[in-house]
A and B are shown apart, each in its own frame.
Chain A
């Protein structure tokens, strides 16, 4: 079973601060994805990274895929209260090519 470890599990910051969330594994993934989930809703895809070393930017969010395709990070610049939510990393790989999720990082941005 491929495991994805996310850190930190909880993060509470003030509006305007920067933050980074990490997603690590001992396994290689063909691609990694980041999802955001709001209370009472299903996760929604933010980004997919495919190539080792790849960096993608989505407004104030920067996603990076590790060179060895075993880890990824999500960096948010100048966080806003609207960024509050559960951030989940997920990887495609392993036998039968399933989508495996990390345990998530619960982010709270206080005004």
Chain B
């Protein structure tokens, strides 16, 4: 199994509070991704990183920010959590682009009340 760990696995937070999710990998893969998974929507890309300090927006990036200060860590921050951000968040890693297998973490279930 690819060494990718998400923390926390579950979190309940209140509307308006900031929340940070962590993705840690031990594979030294260059590319890292944050997706959210909601019923009826599949997996939607929030942000991705193509190297240390190099990040870009995905299709649903509003309300989220990311940082990658080390190869192994990719942080996702909800600046001010809203109920619409209640979801399951998945981190993924790939060694290169195109035809590359994406390895996923086990997900973080976030509930915003």
Q: Which residues of A contact B (CB under 8 A)?
A: 1, 6, 30-31, 33, 35, 40-45, 48, 50, 88, 90, 92, 96-104
Contacts and interface: CB of A to CB of B under 8 A. Distances in A.
B48 A42 contact: no
Contacts of A102: 42
Contacts of B99: 30-31, 48, 50, 92
B104 A101 contact: no
Contacts of B92: 42, 99
Category for how many chain B residues contact A: 20 to 34
A43 B98 contact: no
A100 to B, nearest CB: 7
Contacts of A90: 43, 102
Contacts of A6: 42
Contact of B102 (A1, A50, A99, A104): A99
